[in-house]
Structure 1
Amino acid sequence: DEGDGRTHTLRTKEDADDYRYFPDPDLVPLDPGDEWINTVRSQLPMLPAARRVRLAEVTGQAVDSEAIATVVERRQDDYVVAVAEIGGGAERVLVHVKEAFSEQGSEPSVPAADLAALVAMEVGGELTSTQTKTLLGDLVEQGGGDPKAMAAARGFEAMDTSELDGFVDDAIAADPDAWSKFCAGDGKAMGALVGHVMKASRGQADGKAVTAILNSRKS
């Protein structure tokens, strides 16, 4: 069933007249014991359904989500779990692997520790989502690396609150109409203000932090 990804019995043929055959007298009945069945079962790999459940529990995502299905289908779920166990945000790890590791196979070339370090920087506010995406591309292309050193080489540095406040001041001054609309409850106007900050900062500002500052000023 493509809907739930499982195999279901539709109908059975168990009697002789179903197949129009007669039992072979040389074949004895097969009655495997529980011990043999359990031994064989223990040697089987984790099935896709169980792997989806495990990955969903680790990342906090819905078991039927596209990201879960895609990563399990690529057999990259073990990698995601390994990265999540090292540290960082498991949900972000899942997103990055789904988006950037489509050609990596079941054993990605990027060491789990390197991706975990990158995600930790993103979650910790040291990198914006745009910067993280850029460094992720570098990691995939180079087969790993030190995210902190790579960020420094590209000039990616986290902005402090005073710098962000300055950019927000400039955005409000440059587009007072958008600010008025935003204060009046027009959520779409925020996009213009955030966009101005991102352009002025050349993508260095953290969009979430800018949004938080705008909301705090409005209230």
Structure 2
Amino acid sequence: MDLSEKYEVVIGLEVHAQLRTQSKLFCGDSIAFGAAPNTHVSPITLAHPGSLPKMNEKVIEYAVKLGLACNCDIEQKNYFARKNYFYPDLPKGYQISQHTTPICKNGFVPIKVSTGEKNVRLNRIHMEEDAGKSLHDVDEWNTAVDYNRAGTPLVEIVTEPDLSSSEEAFAYVSELRKLVRYLEVCDGNMEEGSMRCDANISVRLKGVEKLGTKVEVKNLNSIRNVKRAIDFEANRLMQLLEKGETIRQQTRSFDAGNGTTFAIRDKEDAEDYRYFPDPDLPPFDLKDEFIAAVRESIPALPAARIQKYTAEYQLPEYDAQVLTEEKETADYFEALVQQTTNYKAAANWMLGPVKTWLNENSAAIAAFPLKPAQIAALIDTVDSGKVSFSIASTKLFHLLLQEPGETPIVLAEKNNLIQQSNAADLEPVIDAVLEKLSGKVAEYKKGKKGLLALFVGEVMKQTKGKADPKKTNELLLKKLQ
């Protein structure tokens, strides 16, 4: 029996996103990734006696920015709390977080899945500091600790238990990562740990309203692993219920190598953390003017751009989705359509030759050597009938990459790529092709009209792609009457 027909899965996600500030949450230490262990530390990071934290204002701005983009209510009266939970890699022995006053409440993130669209409700977004990193394989007998990451600013985005499948969880984390990248508040790099996901999973019989006992799978470091861990854990919980066993509230980890989860500890509850307001950090109020200024700084987000591309530019939904996947790509496209009104051609160039070049060079659009105006010039060269798209995309594009200082038309002339549209030049080639394929000509005249493409293809081959396809079609039809 397929257990998914009997049980339903209930999922809530907690995503930690490292904010793209230059320094830590409560001191000026750098948060740059990849430094030698324990080089980005100071007396505050190391919790020396008498050292006091000082708030990083950029963190507040980024948290509000994300909250507004997620349709949240912004809490204007805020304070930080101490979360008393032993972290071996936080020198203070406690974490500074927010408890009763998260900076953002409610809100939602819209997702699309195979079953349709839904809004994933958010419970809260709050600020907190990250812990350091324990290394267990550096020394045979001891655990080494790197405090570089300790104090790095995070926001934790907590959903309501609104997700009911690993597919929805995959879509949500994908959408959230796209959003933080658009806002430029987090780089979304899960492999480097700047975005991590914890999944709270429970199962219950279909039709039952009460939530089942949940387990939490910690520190999932890729969107694919979020999906894999949920699938495994949901099935494990269903199997336990089928056997009549009791599910224990646990914190578990995911082994990406074999796709299984394993228990780390029994789960604590909020009261175990003994939250209380941090006496070293004063409460802070957010003014309406500050929130309004942050709102003004939010760029056009993917949903708005997709709407614009499909409505104003008349692009297919698929093109709009792919073009808006990365903010930098969408920005490049928008600069391109300022230079040309052939919006579909602009999308085709972005999704075709440009994307191919980026993939082949493992590069981001920021590294692409041609400016939007140069791609617009290529489009114009095709639209004016000077070269075919085939020649432009396979030859002229690469010549322009080699000589970006030249214009496409000059390169086309210099390399004898100008399209042949003169009947006097094309007719001898067409006559030769029809003579060579006389048998096919007879078949065409008996009704096999699909052979026209064969004749056009042969003419293109003989002219090395320089024949104007439209003119070639026109001349062929006349001669085949």
TM superposition score normalised by structure 1: 0.75
- 1:69, 1:38 → 2: CA distance? 29
**Candidates 150, 168, 171, aligned match of 2:411:** 150
How far apart, CA to CA, are the structure 2 residues paired with 1:182 and 1:38? Answer: 69
Contact 1:164–1:210 (8 Å) recurs in 2? yes
Alignment CA distance shift 1:216-1:2 (3 Å): farther
Distance 1:217 1:37 in 2: 71
Would you tell me which structure has more helix in proportion to its own residues?
1
In structure 2, do the counterparts of structure 1 residues 46 and 211 end up closer, same or farther at CA, with 3 Å as the change threshold?
same
Deviations 1:122-143 (A, max 9, x none): 0111001221011112323444
Report percent identity of matched pairs: 18
Q: Which amino acid aligns with 2:401?
A: V
**Amino acid of the residue matched to residue 8 of structure 1?**
V
- Does the 8 Å CA contact 2:315/2:343 hold for their aligned counterparts? no
Larger radius of gyration: 2
Which letter maps to 2:120?
Answer: H
Distance 1:6-1:91 versus aligned 2 partners, 3 A rule = farther
Alpha-carbon distance, 1:194 to partner: 1.2
RMSD: 3.6
The structure-2 alpha-carbon separation of the partners of 1:84 and 1:162, relative to structure 1 and needing over 3 Å to count, comes to farther
Structure 1: state its 5+ residue gaps.
Answer: 14-18
Q: Would the alpha carbon gap of residues 216 and 93 (structure 1) be closer, same or farther in structure 2, given more than 3 Å must change?
A: farther
Change in 2 beyond 3 A, CA 1:218/1:42? farther
Q: Distance in 2 between matches of 1:147 and 1:137?
A: 10
Q: Please say if residues 385 and 419 of structure 2, whose CA atoms lie closer than 8 Å, have aligned partners that are also in contact.
A: yes
Look up the equivalent residue of 2:321 and give its one-letter code.
Answer: A
SS in 2 for 1:145: coil
Is the 1:88–1:120 contact (alpha carbons within 8 Å) kept by the matching residues of 2? no
Q: Distance in 2 between matches of 1:132 and 1:179?
A: 31
Count of residues paired in the alignment: 210
**CA distance 1:185–1:83, change in 2 (3 Å):** farther
1:111 aligns with 2:375: no
Q: CA deviation at 1:216?
A: 4.9
Query: Residue 40 of structure 1: which of 284, 294, 301 is its match?
Result: 294
Whether 1:62 aligns to 2:322 is: no
Gaps of 5+ in 2: 1-110, 122-158, 163-268, 278-282
Q: TM-score, normalised by structure 2?
A: 0.38
2:350 is aligned, of 97, 112, 120, to 97
- The one-letter code sitting in structure 2 at the alignment partner of 1:153 is K
Please show how residues 112-191 of structure 1 align to structure 2 within 5 Å. 112-133=372-393, 134-143=395-404, 145-159=406-420, 160-191=422-453
Q: Quickly say closer, same or farther: Cα 1:210–1:8, change in 2 above 3 A.
A: farther
